[in-house]
């Protein structure tokens, strides 16, 4: 995060490329380049934006605003300008945050070509009348939209997507927290032997998910779960926003993990406002994608300001967020459904030597009660997670019990497709 923090990212441009190249040192992300003008449903890939410099000099020639001291100082996607103007005209192109006069606000103008600066309000009100020299050295040209994708193939084609937006410049909670945690999650998951497949998407917000979805409709039937990661580094409680479908396998899994960890959390229903879950959960796509954050955007004062910096996020919050993500993905991967092959009355466990298995291996904790739960609810409808949830028996025990019963020919896995 410290290395990514100074880079000026946007929805297109070299900041995104440079950031993805840094992430490639940790996981083999594939970088995709989509040309300007490419259609994506109702949208079009915009011109590529790059910035070299930006400053304002006062009448004495002193730089009063310098992009090099904070990349938030230049309106993100600002058109270039080099001119001498009076204070009144300059003021029309300056954005401040009245409520937090010491902070530089983060503002963008992606789809309306204009130029501008952002500055602390207390500095703004002290600007004296006179001539100012403004210089924004940016380019807006035909180029590409860049995104990163890392696919970990499991035994099954069934997959989960993990998505984070990578378009914000020097802002930590939103969303270097999502980017770094997705990277470390992927790095740990690639060491595991996975039953399901996992796809990590590092995309510019809104236009990035729209472009990805428009290019990958053939995958939709494989995507059984998805999670948008954002704002995971502050010390607020975890907030999970359900998928539009609601009560999806993922919604149940996340709630199960949060409940069992005894962390502070809340669960919200889907609403069509927020991050890229808006696109994943649009009615014509409607994938079971939820969103996990700590304090959601707009609900903490530092949001979209220079105060969302390296000091605002803390190591222990990031670490706990990562542990939660690891547990969710582990459960997603291990969860499965079975059919009981002897559903008419209970099967005779003693004849199969299954009573000897009870407590046979010390520490296994495979017990008769778990067997009865698994046999009774393996009806092709209830997953092992549902059974664990209902029985209050640990998922690992339920899962091991199912393996044992399957080995004895009493269960058959309900295979995806």
- Interface residues with Zn ion (CB under 5 A) are 174
Cβ neighbour number for residue 414 with a 10 Å cutoff: 14
User: By C-beta, is 167 or 387 nearer to Zn ion?
Assistant: 167
Rounded distance between C-alpha atoms, residue 140 and residue 149, angstroms: 25
CB of 57 to Zn ion, least distance (A): 30
Instruction: Output the six-digit token pair for 38.
Output: 């490419």
Q: How far is the CB of 342 from Zn ion (least distance, A)?
A: 54
- With H, G, I as helix, E, B as strand and everything else as coil, classify residue 396: helix
Is the CB of 116 or the CB of 205 nearer to Zn ion?
205
Closer to Zn ion at the Cβ: 166 or 250?
A: 166
118 vs 366 by CB, closer to Zn ion: 118
Beta-strand relationship, 48-57 and 63-66: antiparallel
Smallest separation, CB 277 to Zn ion (Å): 14
> If DSSP states are collapsed to H, E and C, what string results for 173-190?
HHHHHHHHHHHHHHHHHC
- Toward Zn ion, which CB reaches closer, 174 or 327? 174
Strand extents, DSSP E, 112-222: 117-118, 131-141, 144-152, 159-165, 197-203
Whether the ω angle into residue 220 lies within 30 degrees of 0, i.e. cis, is: no
Residue 48 or 174 having the CB closest to Zn ion: 174
Residue 297 C-beta: closest distance to Zn ion, Å: 6
Beta carbon of residue 310, minimum distance to Zn ion (angstroms, whole number): 17
Minimum CB–partner distance for residue 272 and Zn ion (Å): 17
Chain-centre distance for alpha carbon 179 = 7
CA atoms of 171 and 146, how far apart (whole Å): 19
**Which residue's beta carbon is nearest to the bound Zn ion?**
174
Find, among 233, 48, 212, 70, the residue nearest to 145 by Cα: 48
> How deeply is 287 buried, as exposed, middle or buried, from its count of CB atoms within 10 A (0-12, 13-18, 19+)?
buried
């Amino acid at each position: 995060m410290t290395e990514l923090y100074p880079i000026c990212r946007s929805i297109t441009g070299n900041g995104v490329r440079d950031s993805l190249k840094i992430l490639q040192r940790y996981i083999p992300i594939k970088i995709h380049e989509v040309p300007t003008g490419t259609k994506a449903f109702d949208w079009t890939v915009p011109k590529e934006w790059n910035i070299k410099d930006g400053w304002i000099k006062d009448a004495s020639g002193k730089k009063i605003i310098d992009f090099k001291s904070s990349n938030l100082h230049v309106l993100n996607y600002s058109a270039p300008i080099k001119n001498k103007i009076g204070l009144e005209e300059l003021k029309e192109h300056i954005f401040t945050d009245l409520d937090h006069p010491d902070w530089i606000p983060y503002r963008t103008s992606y789809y309306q070509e204009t130029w501008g600066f952002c500055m602390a309000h207390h500095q703004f009100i002290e600007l004296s009348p006179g001539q100012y020299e403004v210089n924004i050295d940016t380019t807006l040209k035909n180029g590409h939209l860049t995104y990163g994708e890392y696919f970990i193939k499991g035994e099954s084609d069934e997959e989960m997507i993990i998505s984070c937006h990578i378009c914000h410049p020097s802002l930590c909670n939103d969303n270097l927290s999502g980017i770094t945690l997705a990277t470390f999650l992927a790095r740990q998951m690639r060491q595991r032997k996975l039953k399901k497949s996992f796809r990590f998407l590092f995309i510019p917000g809104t236009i990035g998910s729209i472009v990805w979805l428009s290019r990958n409709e053939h995958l939709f039937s494989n995507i059984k779960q998805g999670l948008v990661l954002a704002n995971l580094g502050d010390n607020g409680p975890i907030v999970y926003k359900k998928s539009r479908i609601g009560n999806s396998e993922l919604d149940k899994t996340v709630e199960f993990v949060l409940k069992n960890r005894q962390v502070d959390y809340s669960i919200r229903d889907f609403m069509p406002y927020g991050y890229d879950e808006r696109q994943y959960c649009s009615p014509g796509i409607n994938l079971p994608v939820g969103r996990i954050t700590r304090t959601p955007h707009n609900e903490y004062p530092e949001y979209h300001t220079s105060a969302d910096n390296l000091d605002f996020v803390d190591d222990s919050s990031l670490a706990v967020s990562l542990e939660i993500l690891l547990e969710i993905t582990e459960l997603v991967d291990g969860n499965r459904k079975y059919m009981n092959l002897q559903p008419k009355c209970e099967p005779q466990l003693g004849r199969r030597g299954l009573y000897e298995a009870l407590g046979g291996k010390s520490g296994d904790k495979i017990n008769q009660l778990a067997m009865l739960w698994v046999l009774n609810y393996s009806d092709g409808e209830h997953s092992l997670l549902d059974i664990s949830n209902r029985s209050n028996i640990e998922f690992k025990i339920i899962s091991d019990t199912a393996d044992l019963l399957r080995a004895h020919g009493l269960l058959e896995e309900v295979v995806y497709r």
